[in-house]
């Protein structure tokens, strides 16, 4: 399973998401240019909106297209967007466009990578494969914001954007040099009926909740931490990633052994608990506690939910099913970014985190009832 294409794909994944995760600091730039919470949320949400629209558009073709050209287009778009950000000097409509294009890039890259993992990994080790492959993205969650924060403090926003360009160029170079397995004869496309979507709905629920919790934390932690007087957020991302990587390396086969849903449910509860704790955040030590809770939940949830999506996706409909799974996660991200931004502006951060945490807990209960 751990072949050269797998390793190179993981390296490309690390570089691609290092670029994207560095842009969790983009709200600081928007704020510095005079943007408020609602505007921050609407700009950041366009990333998810674009990815959803793109998933819907390409879903019918994902079972027939070769992986490599789609991945190269996605990385190329990301590189162009990063170059454009180096030229920005004031807030305007172009921020919405650039964030939209980032969503297009991640949509193309993400689904192609998921189908690539399905091609490379045997069915009885899929959760393990997704977990280990995902470590490359998790490392970027820790390093990209932490290093980006140091670049911002030392050299400013312009140097920060130039650094993201260099990372995107590196990702493109690795993708060009990666030999991906040739697709077998194209699968006959099949229609996924009501019966399939009824059994697939719990998976979509888990993905939606995952995207919702992740966007709320990653988009609004930087401005919220500043509002409550916490000097640094880099340690949060480092510990979050360390916890997620640890559970994947030490418990990566848990979902394969115990069953996917037995791992998904407590992970959803953990994400909701972490968001609820933000409503009483007052110190760095509590921030680090939240990082452990959410990082551990993330580390277990995403591989288990993705493996369950692979398991349920039928031949000839895998691309459509995985596109729907990604769309659910991205929809959660869009709702979290846009909705939470306006909610925080209306009622304040602490009340907004409390309400969001209760919504996530209700979603976990829904998953338990429908599993």
User: Would you kindly state where each structural domain of the chain is located, as residue ranges?
Assistant: 4-370
Positive or negative, the Cα torsion across 106, 264, 319, 65?
A: positive
**In the chain, % of residues over pLDDT 90:** 25
Q: Which position has the token pair 């879903």?
A: 59
126 or 320: which leads in pLDDT: 320
Tell me what pLDDT residue 36 has.
Answer: 79
Mean pLDDT for 36-47 is: 80
Burial class (CB in 10 A: 0-12, 13-18, 19+), 88: middle
140 or 209: which leads in pLDDT: 209
Tell me what pLDDT residue 71 has.
Answer: 84
Per-residue CA distances from 309 to 207, 320, 327, 329 (Å): 10, 11, 13, 12
Range 4-370 has CATH code 3.40.50.720: no
Confidence bin at 278 (pLDDT 50/70/90): very high
Tell me what pLDDT residue 4 has.
Answer: 77
359 or 235: which leads in pLDDT: 359
Residues 6+ away with beta carbon under 8 Å from 184: none
Confidence bin at 138 (pLDDT 50/70/90): confident
Mean pLDDT for 298-321 is: 76
Task: Give the range among 87-91, 177-181, 218-222, 356-360 with minimum mean pLDDT.
Answer: 177-181
Residue 314 in this model has a pLDDT that exceeds 90: no
Mean pLDDT for 273-297 is: 92
Query: How much is the pTM?
Result: 0.70
Tell me what pLDDT residue 164 has.
Answer: 94
Contact (CB, 8 A) for 48 and 23:
no
Query: Among the ranges 30-44, 139-153, 156-170, which has the highest mean pLDDT value?
Result: 156-170
Neighbours of 83 (CB within 10 A): 15
Residue 35 in this model has a pLDDT that exceeds 90: no
Mean pLDDT for 191-210 is: 82
Q: Which helix (H) or strand (E) holds 50?
A: helix 37-58
Q: What is the pLDDT of residues 211-229, one digit of tens each?
A: 999 989 888 888 888 888 8
* 106-265-204-186 Cα dihedral, nearest 10 degrees: 70
Tell me the C-alpha distance between 5 and 216, whole Å: 34
Q: What is the pLDDT of residues 74-104, one digit of tens each?
A: 899 999 999 999 988 888 888 989 999 998 8
70 or 357: which leads in pLDDT: 357
Residue 28 in this model has a pLDDT that exceeds 80: yes
Query: Among the ranges 172-186, 224-238, 246-260, 357-371, which has the highest mean pLDDT value?
Result: 357-371
Average pLDDT, the chain: 82
Tell me what pLDDT residue 1 has.
Answer: 60
294 or 132: which leads in pLDDT: 294
329 or 163: which leads in pLDDT: 163
Q: Report the chain's terminal Cα–Cα distance, integer Å.
A: 30
Tell me what pLDDT residue 165 has.
Answer: 94
Q: What is the pLDDT of residues 334-349, one digit of tens each?
A: 788 778 888 888 899 9
Q: What is the pLDDT of residues 45-73, one digit of tens each?
A: 787 778 778 776 665 555 566 667 888 88
Mean pLDDT for 225-247 is: 84
Task: Catalogue the long-range contacts made by 88-92 (C-beta closer than 8 Å, 24 or more residues apart).
Answer: 88/161, 90/33, 91/30, 91/33, 91/34, 91/35, 91/39
Query: Among the ranges 19-28, 104-113, 135-144, which has the highest mean pLDDT value?
Result: 19-28
């Amino acid at each position: 399973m751990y072949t050269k294409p797998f390793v190179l794909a993981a390296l490309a994944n690390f570089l691609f998401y290092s670029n994207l995760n560095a842009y969790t600091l983009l709200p600081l730039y928007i704020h510095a240019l005079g943007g408020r919470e609602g505007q921050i949320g609407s700009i950041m949400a366009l990333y998810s909106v674009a990815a959803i629209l793109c998933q819907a558009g390409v879903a019918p073709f994902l079972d027939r297209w070769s992986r490599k050209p789609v991945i190269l287009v996605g990385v190329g778009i990301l590189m162009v967007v990063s170059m454009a950000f180096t030229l920005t000097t004031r807030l305007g409509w172009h921020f919405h466009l650039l964030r939209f294009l980032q969503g297009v890039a991640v949509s193309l890259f993400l689904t192609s990578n998921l189908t690539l993992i399905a091609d490379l990994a045997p069915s009885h080790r899929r959760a393990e494969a997704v977990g280990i492959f995902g470590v490359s993205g998790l490392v970027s969650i820790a390093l990209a914001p932490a290093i980006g924060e140091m670049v911002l403090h030392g050299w400013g926003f312009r140097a920060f954007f130039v650094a993201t360009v260099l990372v995107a160029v590196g990702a493109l170079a690795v993708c060009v040099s990666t030999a991906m397995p040739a697709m077998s004869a194209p699968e006959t496309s099949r229609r996924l009926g009501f019966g399939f979507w009824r059994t697939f709905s719990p998976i979509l629920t888990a993905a939606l909740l995952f995207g919702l919790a992740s966007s709320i934390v990653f988009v609004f932690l930087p401005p919220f931490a500043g509002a409550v007087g916490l000097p640094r957020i880099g340690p949060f991302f480092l510990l979050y990633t360390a916890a997620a990587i640890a559970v994947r390396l030490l418990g990566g086969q848990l979902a394969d052994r115990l069953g996917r849903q037995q791992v998904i449910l407590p992970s959803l509860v953990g994400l909701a608990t972490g968001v609820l704790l933000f409503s009483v955040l007052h110190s760095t030590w509590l921030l680090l506690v939240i990082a452990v809770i959410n990082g551990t939940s993330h580390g277990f949830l995403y591989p288990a939910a993705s493996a369950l999506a692979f398991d349920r996706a039928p031949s000839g409909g895998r691309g459509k099913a995985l596109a729907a799974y990604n769309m659910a996660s991205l929809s959660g991200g869009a709702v979290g970014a846009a909705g939470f931004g306006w909610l925080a502006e209306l009622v304040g951060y602490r009340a907004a985190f409390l309400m969001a945490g209760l919504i996530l807990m209700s979603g976990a209960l829904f998953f338990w009832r429908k599993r």
